[in-house]
Structure 1
Amino acid sequence: MSTLNKLMSMPREIFAGPSSKGLVGPILIVLILSMMVLPLPPFLLDLLFTFNIALSIMVLLVSMYTKKALDFAAFPAVLLFTTLLRLSLNVASTRVVLMEGHTGPDAAGKVIEAFGHFLVGGNFAVGVMVFIILVVINFMVITKGAGRIAEVGARFTLDAMPGKQMAIDADLNAGLIAEDEARSRRAEVAQEAAFYGSMDGASKFVRGDAVAGLLILVINIIGGLIVGMAQHDLSFTDAGTTYTLLAIGDGLVAQIPALVVSTAAGVIVSRVSTDEDVGGQLTGQLFANPQVLFLTAGVIGMMGLIPGMPNVAFLIIAGGLVWIGMRVMAKANATAETKAATPPPPPPLTESQEASWDDVSLVDPLGLEVGYRLISLVDKSQNGELLGRIKSIRKKFAQDVGFLVPVVHIRDNLEIKPNAYVVKLKGVQIGHGEATPGQWMAINPGQVSSTLPGTATTDPAFGLPAIWIDAGLREQAQIYGYTVVDASTVIATHLNHLIHTHAGELLGRQEVQQLLDRIGKESPMLIQDLVPKTLSLTTLQKVLANLLEEGVSIRDMRTILDVLVEHAPTQTDTTELTSLIRVALGRSIVQQIFPDNEVMQIIGLDASLDRMLLQALSNSSGLEPGLAESLLRETQAAIERQSQLGLPPVLVVQSSLRILLSRFLRRSLPQLKVLSHSEIPDSRSIKVTATIGARA
């Protein structure tokens, strides 16, 4: 007996549980589909038609009282269900009309009879015209307009999504909102785009419903004539009158709710989201200005005084507008007097909070600040090209140099010039320049055939003379021999140059640890034997920074670590360790400067100068001022000769002199590469094309 009671209580538990709401949709769909195949009695048809009308009115009122579109996010699904309900009722009523229509005007229920006789006066010609007008209004005006608004709204919403997401991320990064609120706002943005996209497709339901209503009306009339004359021996006039009125009543009782639901769809997609519903917006904005009401009343009143016009109607409306305007004006004056009489509230007492670690603002390792005219180059919503170029720079740098530089933090700065930009390293400016969006920079490499009109400037990366030109002169500039680049490329090239120049400063202990973790996945024993047993992480970071300062790639970390494992137990000086690593990396260093396996044409030292430098190094007295000046001048002249020959500026000296000359010459001549003889592989030949002599 207890088992039977449990089985009997299961349906109640199902419908009373929290999942009962989820059964409404499937049950409704099953009932709608059942109406298409099962015959319904006239009384049940009356109930369902009445329910359809009530449902359409509810949908319209809900759409009127929503404050934003997402408050009625289920509207596309409601539109589908109401359309299916109307079509299934049309199928059920058509079956009853064709089967029982010969028995009288109430054969398909009282609702269809009322719409067919009372609303159109029993005149089937008037009924047909009214039905066609309703279909045209629904199909051509409301549905088409709502569908167009939904289509444009979906397009604009999708276009605005990146900007909204960036605004949410900016508020989150600035600490204005919490993570939960940011997640909620992102979901709302996605739901808004999905809603307008669904509304764009759901409007096709109503359009198809209108077409189906016309076809069902024609089918009912033609089918009724055939059934009435062939099966029930009615005359053509009797069959036409009876079945036409029933078909018109059936069509009207379906099209009027369809028109109401279409109006609700138009209200939903055409409203602007505010804190008020549609009724509040209409009354608050349409009747808010008393001057508009008085002027409208004056125009209507003057028209009412014209002979032959319906004077009473016009004067009644004019008087009503004047009365409303006076009420609005009186309310505005009362509100102003109340505000004037009310003293302003005292400012709220703000209790100063104790300082915390959240107030500490850390500087960015690498930053880029732009003026307001360059914001379009770094704005994702405006397809800013500079963002993609910076990503490519970081990726190419990691592939060529051997480690990943920190993310470039981009900010707008209203304190600098509109077209200016500033590159900062750890909060300190290391480079700046100006760029003009929409124009191109024509860089003069030294061999141009003619000049161009434009604004003279200097290439910020390499200091070459350049001109900002209009886009129409781009091809002409290339013909003259200029190197033409756009504004994004100018900034990206300058940033890339600065990153390579300051690579040693960008390599911190965190980057070194990440580099070791990357190598440790493949060679764990190599890392365990070196760090931290033999060499500290700080010493390794200094050695790698020395290599980067001299433009040496650290991609071959296995060779670098092998050298350190071998020599670090007996050698602790980072400079000496750097020199040992350079010898091991000599082949790659030379290959980077001289990619071809031809003879290396380099700069050499005069023998007398070589001896003087060795003597100064052994005495630890440093370079004399006259000797230093002469060495710098002679080196500059040798670099110019190399440039004229199209050769890279490379100075080859003895191993003991390389560090001294590299540090001294790198300050004034950063383009010069100083190599030692021990760093050059035996397979490469050397030819001295310029000699630096002592001329103190």
Structure 2
Amino acid sequence: MAPKALLQLGVPAGIVMIVVMLVVPLPAVVLDMLIALNITSALLVLLVAMFVHKPLEFAAFPAVVLVLTLFRLALNVSATRLVLLDGYAGKVIDTFGHFVVGGSLIVGLIVFAILLIIQFVVITKGAERVAEVGARFTLDAMPGKQMAIDADLNSGLIDEDEARRRRAEVHAEADFYGAMDGASKFVKGDAIAAIVITMVNLLGGFAVGMAQKGMSFGDAITTYSLLSVGDGLVSQIPALLLSTATGLIVTRNTGDSDMGSDILRQLTANKMPLQIAGFGALAICLIPGLPKLPFVTAGGIMLLASSRVQRPGDGEPVEGVEQVVAAPPDTPEVLAAEIHVDPLGLELSPDIIDLVDPASGGDLLDRVKALRRKIAGELGIIVPPVRTRDSIDLPTGTYAIRLFGIEVARGEAPRGTVLAIGDNVGVLPGQPTREPVFGLEASWIPAELRVQAELSGATVVDRASVITTHLAEVVGQHAARLLGREDVKTLTELVRRTHPVVVEELTPAQLSLGEVQRVLQGLLVEGVAVRDLVRIFEALSLKAPSTKDPDALVEAARASLGPAIVAPHLTEAAVHVISFEPTLEQRMLEAVRAGDMGAVVALDPLLAQTVLGELVTLRTSAEEQGLRPVVVCAPQLRAAVRRMVAPALPTTAVLSYTELVGATQVRSVGTVTGDRVAVSA
């Protein structure tokens, strides 16, 4: 049988044997071996608790406490049976009763009582309280931790796998501290049981010795009472080890090293406390009558340790200090840097610079870097670096997002606050506002009220996540403008490495980089990702010989990306559509005219207004039912219809019939007829 299978069977079998020990007598030799195993197991648990880096690495600890407590109680029952029946319970208990306490019942009881006080009053009571508070705080903090994970995921700071791992860790932490709250009750109950068992053994020993076996009072004490005290001491040693391990686990902070290394590093981090302690020990020697050697030794050790501690930065070069030589203010380089326009910029008011200061816990720059990677993976474009700077022109607690030097969005992120989003945020003290992306009702509340807001059902988001999410929305809206000619060249070279024939056939033979850029921008304007450049280039290669019209090239590329285009609009594998009545669609086809910015539908103004009104009505009705409809039409008409409906319905997608191939079901939510205009005419 495999070792793993043996372990899987061994643990349940061991627990069953512990229960059997409660009712089946054990020989004294076997009892000695089990007592030694009990003490060794408790010592092992204590050492493991000291060497873990974080409590969750010993997640089985609550179950181990229960099993070892039951094992120790079973040994108490077996020892009591042997003491009362035979007057002998093995060499271990006999040695503790006679040698360890010097054969004195009074000394044994006092030592036993002191051990109980140490375990029950000091260690167990403290561990119980810490476990209870830790469980409560962990459960209260769960919603906030979940929201923080979701915010990091949405901002691109972590991927889905990391988010799943962190969520599992949060649940495991809550389960662990909840179990530790119960495990501390086991340790407390074990201490109470030890007192009861020892008192029962003492009274039972007197009764058996004097009443049943006719012993004198002194002989009964010598034979039974010392053995009862020895049994109590034997059980209290592993109990004390286990309760100490419980205290270490519940008070252990998450770190990168074990407890011993953390304590040593933190105690020796500064030489001043060691020096003061050393000189203080030497000063105590001046008190008359006190022995000098112990205090001189202790003080010398402290001073020796302080001499081995280096001050921060001693013997190390100072990093981050550079000798900056300012260039003359009128050099071409300086002037060029001043007139350079950054594609994407983020400006912060001076009072919220802490968001980008790592020393203050600010991680906004790291989140922005992660956001660039996230957008590159979603849209397939290279997001330019975000130039972050402070601006004294901004109001307090305000940030601004600039695109090619022009401000396109502005928001608030007051220092010391978090954003609470929900319907009931008005009951909390704070500054009412609107969430910058979706316009939801929200409020900037003091960070200290975060837990209270989460308990009231609000969604709480930190300032960095608000700015990152707003920045992501702006980049998504203006992705087409951010795609420059150099970016297209870089993307083309990446495709050339894996599919050289596709690139060589398309550019520059059929289309220039500028024409390819215009097609990609046309896709991005409508929120279509350009990650699958191979399919896009292949479609352009087939269409380019017959036409160079941008709309026709965009439609060819969209046709190749049909399943990817319709996927975001699926609801339960179905796409809900708003279509045009065939007669109206034919009329619109006849009204298509070429324009400087592409084809447009040149309908009669009254008819166009009626069509848009019907579209808005159908879209609103569908949204009230929780649906996200799209407008569908013929491929030749799609681009012109998009330009027509964009001013009234900017977030409504317009698809062609050929792009619906990725949907399993197509469900109609309404048809635009324009009948009211026809009747009136």
* Equivalent residue, structure 2, for 1:688: none
* Equivalent residue, structure 1, for 2:257: 276
Per-residue deviation at 1:141? 1.1
Aligned in 2, Cα 1:534/1:96: closer, same or farther, shift over 3 Å?
farther
Contact preservation (8 Å) 1:378, 1:387: no
For structure 2, the residue ranges without an aligned partner over 5 or more in a row are 323-371, 385-400, 402-408, 442-458, 479-564, 590-599, 602-606, 630-640, 649-670
* Equivalent residue, structure 2, for 1:205: 186
The partner residue of 1:254 within 235, 241, 251 is: 235
The partner residue of 2:210 within 225, 229, 235 is: 229
- Alpha-carbon distance in structure 1 between the residues aligned to 2:569 and 2:266: 64
Give the residue type in structure 1 aligned to 2:158: I
- Alpha-carbon distance in structure 2 between the residues aligned to 1:130 and 1:55: 23
The partner residue of 1:39 within 25, 28, 34 is: 25
Contact preservation (8 Å) 1:547, 1:554: no
Give the residue type in structure 2 aligned to 1:337: G
Aligned in 2, Cα 1:159/1:547: closer, same or farther, shift over 3 Å?
same
Per-residue deviation at 1:17? 5.5
Per-residue deviation at 1:171? 2.5
Aligned in 2, Cα 1:427/1:139: closer, same or farther, shift over 3 Å?
same
The aligned runs of 1:420-499 (5 Å cut-off) are none
Aligned in 2, Cα 1:205/1:179: closer, same or farther, shift over 3 Å?
same
- Alpha-carbon distance in structure 2 between the residues aligned to 1:321 and 1:298: 8
- Alpha-carbon distance in structure 2 between the residues aligned to 1:277 and 1:556: 56
Pair 1:378 & 2:420 matched = yes
Aligned in 2, Cα 1:282/1:44: closer, same or farther, shift over 3 Å?
same
Pair 1:90 & 2:90 matched = no
For structure 1, the residue ranges without an aligned partner over 5 or more in a row are 1-12, 102-106, 345-351, 396-408, 429-507, 521-525, 562-571, 585-654, 657-696
Per-residue deviation at 1:229? 1.5
* Equivalent residue, structure 2, for 1:56: 42
* Equivalent residue, structure 1, for 2:271: 290
1:56 match: secondary structure: helix
Give the residue type in structure 1 aligned to 2:381: D
* Equivalent residue, structure 1, for 2:137: 156
* Equivalent residue, structure 2, for 1:319: 300
- Alpha-carbon distance in structure 2 between the residues aligned to 1:516 and 1:116: 77
Give the residue type in structure 2 aligned to 1:301: L
The partner residue of 2:169 within 180, 188, 192 is: 188
Aligned in 2, Cα 1:413/1:368: closer, same or farther, shift over 3 Å?
farther
- Alpha-carbon distance in structure 1 between the residues aligned to 2:608 and 2:567: 10
Contact preservation (8 Å) 2:418, 2:460: no
Contact preservation (8 Å) 2:50, 2:260: yes
- Alpha-carbon distance in structure 2 between the residues aligned to 1:518 and 1:416: 31
Give the residue type in structure 2 aligned to 1:249: G
Pair 1:546 & 2:613 matched = yes
Aligned in 2, Cα 1:235/1:187: closer, same or farther, shift over 3 Å?
same
Contact preservation (8 Å) 2:152, 2:465: no
- Alpha-carbon distance in structure 2 between the residues aligned to 1:283 and 1:169: 37
- Alpha-carbon distance in structure 2 between the residues aligned to 1:413 and 1:126: 64
RMSD: 5.2
Aligned in 2, Cα 1:286/1:390: closer, same or farther, shift over 3 Å?
closer
TM-score, normalising length: structure 2: 0.55
1:272 match: secondary structure: coil
Deviations 1:460-485 (A, max 9, x none): xxxxxxxxxxxxxxxxxxxxxxxxxx
The partner residue of 2:381 within 326, 349, 359 is: 359
Aligned in 2, Cα 1:383/1:216: closer, same or farther, shift over 3 Å?
farther
- Alpha-carbon distance in structure 2 between the residues aligned to 1:583 and 1:511: 36
- Alpha-carbon distance in structure 1 between the residues aligned to 2:418 and 2:624: 40
Give the residue type in structure 2 aligned to 1:141: V
- Alpha-carbon distance in structure 2 between the residues aligned to 1:48 and 1:515: 61
Aligned in 2, Cα 1:582/1:392: closer, same or farther, shift over 3 Å?
farther
Aligned in 2, Cα 1:390/1:544: closer, same or farther, shift over 3 Å?
farther
- Alpha-carbon distance in structure 2 between the residues aligned to 1:68 and 1:99: 47
The partner residue of 1:175 within 149, 156, 163 is: 156
2:22 match: secondary structure: helix
1:190 match: secondary structure: helix
**More off after superposition, 217-226 vs 164-173:** 164-173
Aligned in 2, Cα 1:96/1:213: closer, same or farther, shift over 3 Å?
same
Deviations 1:593-643 (A, max 9, x none): xxxxxxxxxxxxxxxxxxxxxxxxxxxxxxxxxxxxxxxxxxxxxxxxxxx
Per-residue deviation at 1:361? 6.6
- Alpha-carbon distance in structure 1 between the residues aligned to 2:623 and 2:156: 42
Contact preservation (8 Å) 2:271, 2:306: yes
Deviations 1:328-360 (A, max 9, x none): 24xx59x8336579x99xxxxxxx99x885336
1:359 match: secondary structure: coil
- Alpha-carbon distance in structure 2 between the residues aligned to 1:221 and 1:557: 78
* Equivalent residue, structure 1, for 2:522: none
Per-residue deviation at 1:265? 0.9
Give the residue type in structure 1 aligned to 2:224: Y
Give the residue type in structure 2 aligned to 1:214: I
Contact preservation (8 Å) 1:372, 1:412: no
Aligned in 2, Cα 1:233/1:174: closer, same or farther, shift over 3 Å?
same
The partner residue of 2:101 within 106, 117, 120 is: 120
Give the residue type in structure 2 aligned to 1:279: G
- Alpha-carbon distance in structure 2 between the residues aligned to 1:415 and 1:393: 16
Contact preservation (8 Å) 1:154, 1:193: yes
Per-residue deviation at 1:268? 1.1
Which is greater in Rg? 1
Aligned in 2, Cα 1:545/1:152: closer, same or farther, shift over 3 Å?
farther
Aligned in 2, Cα 1:578/1:153: closer, same or farther, shift over 3 Å?
same
1:203 match: secondary structure: helix
Per-residue deviation at 1:391? 13
- Alpha-carbon distance in structure 2 between the residues aligned to 1:63 and 1:416: 40
Per-residue deviation at 1:288? 2.6
Aligned in 2, Cα 1:99/1:529: closer, same or farther, shift over 3 Å?
farther
Per-residue deviation at 1:168? 2.1
Contact preservation (8 Å) 1:131, 1:251: yes
TM-score, normalising length: structure 1: 0.54
Aligned in 2, Cα 1:180/1:20: closer, same or farther, shift over 3 Å?
farther
Count residues in correspondence. 441
1:336 match: secondary structure: coil
* Equivalent residue, structure 2, for 1:79: 65
The partner residue of 1:142 within 116, 123, 126 is: 123
Give the residue type in structure 2 aligned to 1:49: I
Pair 1:108 & 2:89 matched = yes
1:378 match: secondary structure: strand
Pair 1:165 & 2:146 matched = yes
1:92 match: secondary structure: helix
Per-residue deviation at 1:372? 2.8
